Amino acid sequence: MRTRPKVIGVHTRESATRILLADDHALVRRGLRLILDAEPDLTVVAEAADGAEAIDASAGGDVDLAILDIAMPRMTGLQAAREISRAVRSAMRDEPFLYPAAVTALIREYLARDRDGDAPDSVLTPREEEIIKLVAEGYLSKRIAETLTISVKTVDRHRANILGKLGMRDRLELTKYAIRVGLVEP
């Protein structure tokens, strides 16, 4: 005859497994909540109507388990599970995690501000902008140094800094950049 295992610990709501429910049907969420909350070692701490809300709800770190509907609007449960998994792994490595939709929104906002003329100030110093203008106009390092009354070595150092800041490789890219941002006329 088999005996049932003994219950060694008593679960309180504080030690219970914290669950996130994500389903686009409120009735399903309500039913699952009733079933799960009836268990002494389980408690539903958050609900979400779609995958994006599930990610937001799990971001606080108060969730031990996520129960996700696979077919939800805006973002499926599978997509949400992937994003939650990435966020957890990033947190475990003490790395920041940016939800891809948030990154996209930030990029759109930046591009809109850039288009409307509200972009942040240039990453270049005024001296670096002067050097870019002269490079774009075809001046060589020696001529730039004479024009600005600085050494050729300083011009070369400025140019290296500019290339690094802008992620560029050569004079041609600098010239295209100078035209694009209006430092020189084409």
Helices (H), the chain: 26-37, 51-58, 77-92, 100-115, 126-136, 141-148, 152-166, 171-180
Is residue 95 pLDDT above 70, yes or no? no
Phi, psi of 182 (to 5 degrees): 85, 20
pTM, to two decimals: 0.44
Give the Cα separation of 65 and 45 in Å (integer).
10
pLDDT at 153: 95
CATH class label, 17-98: alpha beta
Is residue 3 pLDDT above 70, yes or no? no
Domain residue ranges of the chain, discontinuous segments joined by +:
17-98, 126-180
The CATH topology of domain 126-180 is Arc Repressor Mutant, subunit A (1.10.10)
Beta bridge partner(s), residue 77: none
Give the Cα separation of 123 and 104 in Å (integer).
22
Tens digits of residue pLDDT in 54-66: 888 887 768 888 8
Three-class SS state of 35: helix
